[in-house]
Homo-oligomer: A and B are copies of this chain.
């Protein structure tokens, strides 16, 4: 059980949920929700990253928050039925525990601890989105690139991240050519190494230097609101 939220639940509270949890493996690129979709399942990732993306009419999409083992997708639907506001897409292969929102709702009614967790998680996710607003408006592509890598690195158990520049360009809301330029610059600085569809984190500390404050800010916010985990 690597998901921080599930791991933090006392046994009694967890028991309300555990009979209905199923473990699923989600391949990269898998679309979980689109805006307007009814949220019928919640996912607690143990490993990997799910991106929340804001969709524009033009078809452009941009990442507004991410979900990994520190959180859950669709958790707020525990309170009341919900439509998704954004696109939720699997970014790096995810192993997750899944539960239907109806079962989740039942557990939510029974467990005060779970209710508190839902609250805090919602707040942390909101904070994540708020920080993204500022970051996208004010910070350079290079800084955002580094922030993205760090956030991803935190949520998988490897220094190697599988992703294409094209994909990353979408996440960051910029042209692929810009990503190419930034990636090379970072490689020259020795912070990463990359090849076709793969990025290796070489110098995590270096990335932290280049990344904007937003990485730390989001991190602090999660730490304040949610179980730290190990």
Interface on A for B, CB 8 Å cutoff?
Answer: 52, 54-57, 60-62, 64-65, 76, 79-80, 82, 85-86, 116, 119, 122-123, 125-127, 129-134, 136-138, 172-173, 213, 221
Contacts and interface: CB of A to CB of B under 8 A. Distances in A.
A123 B52 contact: no
A119 B76 CA distance: 9
A61 B137 CA distance: 10
Q: How many copies does the complex hold?
A: 2
A65 to B, nearest CB: 8
B173 A54 contact: no
B137 A79 contact: no
Nearest to A54: B134
A68 to B, nearest CB: 18
A134 B52 CA distance: 11
A213 B132 CA distance: 19
Given A54-B134, A137-B173, A138-B60, A123 B85 contact: yes
A130 B85 contact: yes
B80 A173 contact: no
Contact of A130 (B54, B116, B173): B54
